[in-house]
Structures are given as C-alpha cells and as structure tokens.
Amino acid sequence: MAKQTIREKLDGINEYEREPVPKDKVKGFKSFVGMVAGEHIAGTEFVIGPMFVAYGVSAVDLVWGLLIGNILAVLSWTFVCAPIATKTRTTIFYQLEKISGFKLVTFYNVVNGLLFSFVAASMIAVSATAVGIPFNIEMPGLEDILPTGPGWIITVLIIGSVITVVSMFGYDQVSKFANIFAPWMPLIFLGGAIAVLPKLGVTHFSEFWPVAKEKIWTGVPMAGQIKFTMWHVIAFAWLCNGGMHLGLSDTTIYRYAKKPVYGLASAAGMFIGHGMAWLASGILCAAAFGDTTPGPIAYGSMGIAGAICVVAAGWTTANPTMYRAGLAIQAVLPALKRWKITLIIGIVVTLLACFPGVVTKLMSFIAFYALLAVPVGAVVFADVYFIPKLGLRQNYAELSGTSFSWIVAVTWALSFAIAKALDIYFQIDGLEFFLAIPGWFASVAIYMTLNYFFQNKHLKIA
Amino acid sequence: MRIALIILSFTGLTLTILPAFLHFSGVIEFERHIEITTIGTILYLSTAPFWMNKRKKKAKAEV
C-alpha cells in the first residue's frame, strides 16, 4: 500500500464531528479510565495544591472538602454528562448548534478559545518556573502580577515559542509525548511528597496527621490571601472541571462510551489526579516554607526529575489547550489556515504568560470559566430532558432554520448576570467559586420559561 | 528486545518512586534519593518511547 501524505492521513480520520458515533465504534470502560487518569494530572495541579495551603484551608476541611467535592464531580460526569453523551452520541458543539444555531455556537467556540488561551498561558508560565531554575532566574511570588525581570520574560518567550511551534504542526506528536509521561508523573507527585515529609518532622506515617494540621494545612491563610473553608474546597473540587461535566464538553469523550455508567471512570482522574496530586503539591509547598512556585518546590523534592515533571506537566496541558483554542478561533476565520491561527494565538498567549498573574489568579479564572460554561451545558440538558415534557420541540434552531437562537443567547447572558449579581449582593470572599451552581439552575429555569412562552408551537417542519 | 525495553521502563518507574519511601524510612539519605530518582527517570524516559506508542501504532495498522 502506498505511503499516505499527511493531508490524506488527516482527511482519513473520522471523528464523527457532525454525526452520532456508530455503535460499533464505542469503547470499553478501561479506555476511559486511562484517559481521564492521565488528563487530570496536569500542570494545574502544581498550582492548585499550594494555593490551598496559601488560602489557609485546615487539614480536616481539605480532606472532607476533596472527598465530597470529587464525589460530586464524579456524580456529575456519571449522571449528567455521560447519559446525555450516550443518548445523543454527539459532541456538545454539534448538539448546541442544533439547539442554538451556527452563529451562536461559533460565538461559544470563540469564548472557549479565549478561555483556553488563558489556561495555555498559565501552563507556559508554570513550565518557565522549572526551566528558569538552573539560571537563577528570579521567580514570581504569590503577589506578583507583573513580570519580575528580563530573565523571567526571556525564559517564558523561549518556552512559549517552542510550544507554539509544536502546536502549529498539530498535536499528534504531543499526545504521544503525553502518553509517555502519564504513568511517570503521578509517581513524581507522590514520591516528592513522601520524600519531604521528614523535613516537616514526619518520620512515621502515624505522625503525619498532627503535622498536617500544624505545619501544612494550618487553617491560617498567607498574608493578603482569602480564607478557604471546607465549602470552598467542595465547590472548587466539584466545579473546577464544571465546563467538562455540567458544561458537557466531555460529551466529546463519553459519546464513545457503551453505557452512561462509564462516567464513573472519572473517579480515576478525580482521586488519583486531583485528590492525590493536590495533597502532594500542598505538602511540597509547606516543606518549601510556603513557596508556591511549581518549579522550585518540585526541584526541591525530586531534583531534576521534579523539574522535568513541571516542564512536562505544563507543556502537555498547554499544547492541546492551544490546539483547541486554534480550532475554536478558526471557526470564525475559516479562510485562515489553522497553523497561522495557532501562530497568532501562540504569540498572544506567550506574551500573556510573561505576566505571573496568569498563574496566581488561575483558580479564580477556573471558577469564572465554569460560570460561563455550565449554563450552556444546562441549556443542552434542559433541551434533551425537559423540553419534550413540556410538549415543546427539541433542537429548535435546526427545525426553524435559524442560525442564532435569541432564547439561548438570553438564557446564557441572564444566568451569568444573575450569578454575578449574587456575588455583588452578598460580598462574601470566595463566593465566585460557587456561582456555577446557581448559574446552572437559573439557566434551566430561564431556558424552559422562554421556550414555553416564545417557541412557535405551530412551526411547520418541511 | 521489546520485552527487555518494557522491563527496563518498569524498573525506571520503580526507581522513580522507591527512593522516596526508602528515604522516608531512614534507609537512604535525601541526596541518594535524588540520585536514584534521577537514574530511574532517565531509564524510564529513554526506554518507554521505543515501545509505548509503537504498540498503539501496531494495533491501528492491523485494523
């Protein structure tokens, strides 16, 4: 058989973007376990774990918060995302296009693209904290928003350039790279935490809990930081991936599942990934006297292996994120080739990564992303399950031939506005981390109400 | 050859995590833990690429 060109190979790939996945293409449970376990140990874990220390979570609150929050996340994947994915067998993007119209879903894609760009910038900065170690670059601290010096900027520019070039060539090579690091990275997190416990005065596992309460998760926030309680941890652990489960972007994955119960595979990501990695990186932070910078704390516990882990974790998150951002933006600029768009995004993202605020404000940003994405998932959820019960029509934009559903647009905008209004009204520190939940309920209620009163019940279908 | 590479990769993974527990237990010093972890990392990263993704490529080619 003749060797295929790259274009032929790409053209030969069918990802069923605009049709349901056929029954003979569904996958077994083990496929999902491996995939999600690897996906949820990422560069972000090096940031989030230390931030729980910085925000003064107590040890008891952290353990209960992670347990409950991660369980809620798994239940969201299992009872919200996976059932819709296996029922429709389509991506949220295609489903949303049928509900809201092409123009609105394009806008949604662009918003996602911009949000992905922020995450990519954050991960470039994370990698830079490790690359800069041998050059004694001044690392940004918890309070730094602006670049800390020319050394930091040069390091970020070099890493961002490399990641951008790799993204331009497509991320097939990076996914192979990520597969190789997937079994090794969790061992670095775990090993690093175990290795520094003696520095904290733990020489037997029975001594861990008292030290955890006194020296690691003390309940006292660092200067200038808000105080996190168990409720904040529950909300963050549950909703940090809100865009994926309640926001339904993981229908892209679970549409290949044989049964909805495969959503339980997310437990591998939540407990091995988030749970273990956040606890471990928090221990690294405490052993480094409260330093929250990923590169130095990993290097300090596992040497060069730790530094490599930070670079790899940041890179393997930044690349697919930048690739997705490129695809999303290309939807509005179809005349431009994807590699050119990726180049432009890469330049913007790399410049953004020079500002350490993209790392120190990552958790707030993740909360904001959930608030934007979850109401959209709620619209799809309501359209699939509740709209028929009201005697109304599903996929109304497809049926009516509209490219922009004002009902979906108003639902999205209004649910976001209601959630932000709650934040402004109550003025509670950290309330931003909870807002996706009222946003979800508001979105369902508004969507159903607007459809009940304004959907054309006499619409004739050709 | 492939079996040998897989064995070496898993040895590398073992050497990545085991030193941490040995140091915690007081068997080896912190610096020794760093050295062995580094060796384990190099061993794993230098052998895994030669069998890990090739298995998936072979499975796809057989379809």
Task: Output the six-digit token pair for A342.
Answer: 């990726």
Write out pLDDT tens, residues A209-228: 999 999 999 999 998 888 99
Check CB contact under 8 Å for B19 and A197.
no
Average pLDDT for residues A96-100, to the nearest whole number? 92
Core vs surface per residue B1-13: b (16+ CB within 10 A) or e:
eeeebbebbeebb
The answer to whether A201 faces chain B, any CB pair under 8 Å, is no
Average pLDDT for residues A284-310, to the nearest whole number? 91
Q: Which positions ≥6 away from B59 have C-beta within 8 Å?
A: none
**Is residue A218 helix, strand or coil?**
strand
Check CB contact under 8 Å for A305 and B26.
no
User: Which of B24, B41, B49 lies closest to A195 in CB terms?
Assistant: B24
Of A307, A305, A280, the residue nearest A294 (C-alpha): A307
User: How confident is the model at residue A418, as a pLDDT?
Assistant: 94
Check CB contact under 8 Å for B24 and A183.
no
Check CB contact under 8 Å for A192 and B20.
yes
Q: Which positions ≥6 away from A404 have C-beta within 8 Å?
A: A100, A101, A103, A104, A397
Determine the distance in angstroms separating the CA of A215 from the nearest CA of chain B, rounded to an integer. 18
Residue A457: is its pLDDT beyond 80?
no
Indicate the pTM of the whole model: 0.86
Check CB contact under 8 Å for A203 and B26.
yes
The answer to whether A125 faces chain B, any CB pair under 8 Å, is no
Count of pairs with CB atoms under 8 A, one residue in A, one in B: 65
Average pLDDT for residues A78-84, to the nearest whole number? 95
Check CB contact under 8 Å for B24 and A203.
yes
Write out pLDDT tens, residues A301-343: 999 999 999 999 888 888 888 877 877 777 677 777 778 888 8
Of A100, A94, A109, A103, the residue nearest A410 (C-alpha): A100
ipTM given for this complex = 0.90
Of A384, A371, A387, the residue nearest A441 (C-alpha): A371
User: How confident is the model at residue A2, as a pLDDT?
Assistant: 43
- A96 versus A142: the higher-pLDDT residue is A96
User: How confident is the model at residue A430, as a pLDDT?
Assistant: 82
CA–CA distance, A162 with B61 (Å, rounded to integer): 31
Q: Are A356 and A145 in contact (CB under 8 A)?
A: yes
User: What residues of A are in contact with residue B30 (Cβ under 8 Å)?
Assistant: 195, 198
Write out pLDDT tens, residues A373-432: 999 999 999 999 999 998 899 999 999 999 999 999 999 999 999 999 998 998 887 888
Which residues face A181 on adjacent strands? none
Residue in chain B closest to A312 (alpha carbons) equals B45
Write out pLDDT tens, residues A415-443: 999 999 998 998 887 888 889 999 999 99
User: How confident is the model at residue A138, as a pLDDT?
Assistant: 78
Determine the distance in angstroms separating the CA of B25 from the nearest CA of chain A, rounded to an integer. 7
Mutation target for A interface from B11, B18, B37, B58: give the one with most A CBs within 10 A: B37
Check CB contact under 8 Å for A194 and B21.
yes
Residue B58: is its pLDDT beyond 70?
no
The answer to whether A190 faces chain B, any CB pair under 8 Å, is yes
Of A151, A195, A395, A363, the residue nearest A278 (C-alpha): A363
Which residues face A218 on adjacent strands? A58
CA–CA distance, A308 with B54 (Å, rounded to integer): 23
User: In whole numbers, what is the pLDDT of chain A averaged over residues?
Assistant: 87
Check CB contact under 8 Å for A195 and B17.
no
User: Which of B24, B38, B41 lies closest to A197 in CB terms?
Assistant: B24
CA–CA distance, A380 with A57 (Å, rounded to integer): 35
Q: Which of A56-60, A426-430, B11-15 has the lowest mean pLDDT?
A: A426-430
Task: Output the six-digit token pair for A197.
Answer: 């416990």
- Kindly report the backbone phi and psi dihedral angles of residue A292, in degrees, each rounded to the nearest multiple of 5, phi listed first: -105, 5
Residues across chain A: 462
CA–CA distance, A237 with A65 (Å, rounded to integer): 8
Residue A174: is its pLDDT beyond 70?
no
Average pLDDT for residues A58-64, to the nearest whole number? 97
User: How confident is the model at residue B59, as a pLDDT?
Assistant: 46
CA–CA distance, A48 with A436 (Å, rounded to integer): 19
Orientation angle between helical segments A277-287 and A59-76, nearest 10 degrees: 150
- Kindly report the backbone phi and psi dihedral angles of residue A218, in degrees, each rounded to the nearest multiple of 5, phi listed first: -85, -15
CA–CA distance, A281 with A320 (Å, rounded to integer): 23
The answer to whether B45 faces chain A, any CB pair under 8 Å, is yes
Residue in chain B closest to A299 (alpha carbons) equals B34
C-beta pairs of A396-402 under 8 Å, 24+ apart in sequence: A396/A99, A396/A451, A396/A455, A397/A97, A397/A98, A397/A99, A397/A100, A397/A101, A397/A104, A398/A97, A398/A98, A398/A99, A399/A459, A399/A461, A400/A456, A400/A459, A402/A101
Mutation target for B interface from A184, A206, A207, A315: give the one with most B CBs within 10 A: A184
User: What residues of A are in contact with residue B57 (Cβ under 8 Å)?
Assistant: none
Q: Are A167 and A342 in contact (CB under 8 A)?
A: yes
Residue A243: is its pLDDT beyond 80?
yes
Write out pLDDT tens, residues A17-32: 666 777 777 777 877 7
User: How confident is the model at residue A5, as a pLDDT?
Assistant: 55
User: How confident is the model at residue A14, as a pLDDT?
Assistant: 55
Chain A (241-260) residues lying within 8 Å, Cβ to Cβ, of chain B: none
Residue A271: is its pLDDT beyond 60?
yes
DSSP B1-62: -HHHHHHHHHHHHHHHHHHHHHHHTTSS-HHHHHHHHHHHHHHHHHHGGGTHHHHHHHHHHH
Of A102, A99, A81, A109, the residue nearest A383 (C-alpha): A99
User: What residues of A are in contact with residue B56 (Cβ under 8 Å)?
Assistant: 179
Q: Are A235 and A52 in contact (CB under 8 A)?
A: no
Check CB contact under 8 Å for B17 and A308.
no
Alpha carbon separation from A266 to A318, A345, A369, A373, A453 (Å, rounded): 21, 30, 20, 19, 38
User: How confident is the model at residue A172, as a pLDDT?
Assistant: 65
Confidence of residue A357 (pLDDT cuts 50, 70, 90): confident
